[in-house]
Copies of this chain bind each other. A is one copy, B any other.
Amino acid sequence: MAQLIFKGRDIYYDVKGLGKPFVILNGIMMSTKSWEPFMESFSENNMCIRLDFLDQGQSAKLKSSVYTQDLQVQIIEALIKELNLSKVSIVGISYGGEVALEFAVKHPNLVDRLVLFNTTPYTSPWLAEIGYKWNSIGRTRDGKTYYQATIPAIYSPSFYESRLAWMKKREEILLPIFSNPDFLDAMERLTNSAEHYDVRDRLDQITAPTLIVAADEDYLTPINNQKYLNEHIKESSLVILPGVGHASMYETPMVFVSLVLGFINTKQTSYQV
């Protein structure tokens, strides 16, 4: 539980464990707390670094500001410096995967390995439209509709149905949050910060071994996005999770953790087969 001052703003972060360091970057609706269930594994043999992006969790809110994801990229750079690390692995999901990619194309030498879950290389017109919808509904302050408009696009139909009781409990937890104007405004700013995101023409600058994880019921960043990443990032491999949606870390937690720790900790990155 620590704070970094970035351009006069508080950034909340947390470091746990000893070993090869990795930064794990939140999806748009997440916060450092979202990773709590995995921390026992993440910190067993690694230094796991979590942070709340600006406008997330306990970090500063940027009321009435317009910004792009590059601001979040700068925060990661500052945090790595603060921690005196020369190189880290970066793990990101969705919005966090986008920031991870932007960081990796800007600072290839700082990245040891890269693991991307449910990540797109750009905000397509189709995805932008979904963001506009989230924003429009957020402005109505109707938490229930915001839930209906976001959550069934985030969890797969397979998971939604097989874990219906869990989803209902989730709804109870989320409704008050989704009815909070501050949360909804922060969500709108975060959504807008990704509106023009596009790293497609810079993917060749990434040099780190990269694991790309797609989920075949991901309806926000569908599998074609991850295929594109796999075709354009040199040292990359693609893995597909069947029956899983956009919230892969909660839908298939043991596979999620295994992929993260397996890929960043494996000693060799090349094999004389």
Contacts and interface: CB of A to CB of B under 8 A. Distances in A.
**What secondary structure prevails in chain A residues at the interface with B?**
helix
Contacts of A250: 273
Interface stretch (A90-98, A101-109, A182-190, A253-261): A253-261
A242 interface: yes
A263 interface: yes
A149 B133 contact: yes
A148 interface: yes
Q: How large is the interface on A (under 10, 10 to 19, 20 to 34, 35 or more residues)?
A: 35 or more
B160 A209 contact: no
Contacts of A164: 125
Contacts of A259: 258-259, 262
Contacts of A137: 137, 145, 149
A261 B257 contact: no
Closest 9 CB pairs of A and B: A262-B262, A133-B148, A258-B262, A253-B271, A126-B160, A219-B219, A136-B145, A240-B240, A258-B263
